[in-house]
Structure 1
């Protein structure tokens, strides 16, 4: 589903490597959490997968589409197609929610599906009910708590049925209790929708909910096991 091979990205100012020959494989419906020190490149990695940034080397492919790099596939991605790629294949959950103040909860959630042109009101109703925010549908954003807004952000990322969800610190602005509820819902909803999930988080409690818990360190991903020991893998890391 998601395959990253020998990915490289350097700091633009110094040229020092930030991501160095990074490999990752995530299958359909699987989840991966990525932890690491501040500034180690976690958010940059998500930006590369989403096509917001261009790698210095390596390859990223989603559903067989090579969106960046040196793939020899016939359908190698073109820069002009990147917006359409995000609409069709990705759901993004931002740390700061990125909801629209002028919309109510329903319209915020429907926004991505409307862009894609596949609005399904029944699916959105079911998704909001599952996330516990259906009673909030007509409420303006100003009347929603932080946890309610983050649930709306998760619903918006899922409503157009993407193949892959990228979540950048999805519970970073939430208190401990709300963080537990929202992260449970994120992993549960993605699993039930058979949607792959890559989540960047500083929270160990969130990280351990994933099928594979990884750490970004010195430009590569290391698997973190239950004893908190780490192993760096040179071949692509698989979630399973």
Structure 2
């Protein structure tokens, strides 16, 4: 489960907050898509959730982990599992809980497809050959296992990137424009696979996209505008979660 409360982000060089008291709750196994104009803060939001940046205020909770402002003296590290994370714990959080699908794939040219996908599971220490084989079969890339990355098409590379994000069984997958570099037909196929596999694995999925077709595949399509999330493009009523 992903729970974001009163999340704000302000940069010293910008007077208007990028994100302003933003709230979001995504239950385990559910999917959310976020659309919005360029520069509205979509990538900033993903960066904060992934722990690449620290919020100005507010909190981001994923299962037993909670990310808060690094310099917040009211939330020091303690021995409780749900204690706030300081920067030295963020890598552990990403390794245990997070899968990331990058628009630019971010695969290793020196590895073949199999070793690229296995990388995160080996890093986490839960590498399972049978599970990876099953996952690659679902993504229809098992036949590419021994091929160098340079010999794969864009759609094939993106499927490898999706498999790598899922192979260590994360609780949350963040996808940043996962079909932005693909043609329309390949985009539909790859996005269908991403949503379907996450649902089957009960993995929470958060997708940032400019594609309305991709966005509508999500259980909860949202728009980011003026630092807050809205339920539709009309941007009249901020999104809220009722338990």
Structure richer in strand, relative to its length: 1
Asked if 1:152 is matched to 2:168, the reply is no
Report the Cα offset of residue 10 of structure 1: 1.4
3-state DSSP of counterpart to 1:150? helix
Which blocks of at least 5 consecutive residues in structure 2 are unaligned? none
Question: Whole-Å Cα distance in 2 between the matches of residues 178 and 95 of structure 1?
Answer: 14
Cα distance in 2 for residues equivalent to 1:127 and 1:143: 21
CA RMSD of aligned residues (A): 1.7
Aligned residues: 235
What is aligned with 1:125?
A: 133
Q: Per the alignment, in what secondary structure is the counterpart of residue 44 of structure 2?
A: helix
Residue in structure 2 matched with residue 143 of structure 1 by the alignment: 151
Mapped contact 2:65–2:93 kept (Cα < 8 A): no
TM-score (norm 1): 0.94
CA distance in 1, matches of 2:12, 2:114: 40
Q: Does 1:41 align with 2:41?
A: yes
Aligned to 2:62: 62
Contact map agreement 2:101 2:161 (CA 8 A) in 1? yes
Matching residue within 196, 209, 213 for 2:204: 196
Could you tell me how far apart the structure 1 residues matched to 2:219 and 2:235 are? 16
Bigger mean CA deviation after superposition, 70-79 or 84-93 = 70-79
Match for residue 237 of structure 2 among 223, 232, 238: 232
Q: State the TM-score, normalized to the length of structure 2.
A: 0.92
Are the structure 2 counterparts of residues 237 and 230 from structure 1 closer, same or farther at C-alpha, using a change threshold of 3 Å?
A: farther
1:87 equivalent in structure 2: 95
Structure 1 residues 126-135 or 55-64, which shifts more? 55-64
